[in-house]
Amino acid sequence: MLLAAYAPSFCLTYPRNLHYPHYLTKPSVKTRFSVRCSVPESKNGAKVEYTPWLIVGLGNPGNKYHGTRHNVGFEVIDSISQTEGILMNTIQSKALIGIGSIGEVPVLLAKPQTYMNFCGESVGPLAAYYRVPLRHILLVYDETSLPNGILRLQPKGGHGHHNGLSNVMGHLDGSRNFPRLAIGIGNPPGSMDLRAYLLQKFSSVERKQIDASLEQGVQAVRTLVLNGFDHHVNKFNLGQKYKYHKV
């Protein structure tokens, strides 16, 4: 059964019985979801089809980790949820999820509750259950190789020694061909332990930079979902690269 959308009223449904790759565990929730929104009719009255997006923020669950550097992926999902009015109110495949749309495109927001190093246990089953292709699985995560608050949007890439990314790739048959939005958090100062740095909260100055980047991240995700990887993404990345450079 294929995903389908019909104009003018939009209904996206998914089958209950899916065939899972050997490395995936069957989702713990068997609920059938439906996403509905309004879409414009095509000029010739033809059916309109949309491929859903799975947008996953990486982080650690619990108040202990709220606001830490390693949890900026969660913060982007929270910002998208608030901006687009998508309620995060369901647990499925060890993740807190919300189903809605960005513009007219159906999206599934997810915050794995497995802890960072095992987040693939949520991403893999969700992608299989909702039949989301790799090109529409967007991971949002923290990146130490980027200065604090700098964003980078890419169509694919390696894991860069990020344990969360590495685990997700392992649950997607080792594929690296999925989009990702990296949020720069900078490198630990001096000889500071990396783990301690990741689990530390931002300074007041860093926090202001991150808050600004969250707004920019939401806009970047919206642009990607609606337009794909076009010239707008290249312009976004270039602007991010030099946004702290004063002319």
The residues annotated with a catalytic role in the active site are 70
- The two tokens of residue 56 are 């996953």
Closest by Cα among 186, 134, 184, 180 to 157: 180
For the range 115-118, what are the long-range contacts, defined as Cβ-Cβ under 8 Å and sequence gap of 24 or more?
A: 115/60, 115/61, 116/58, 116/59, 116/60, 116/70, 116/163, 116/164, 117/163, 117/164, 117/167, 118/167
Using CA atoms, how far apart are residues 151 and 43, in angstroms rounded to an integer? 38
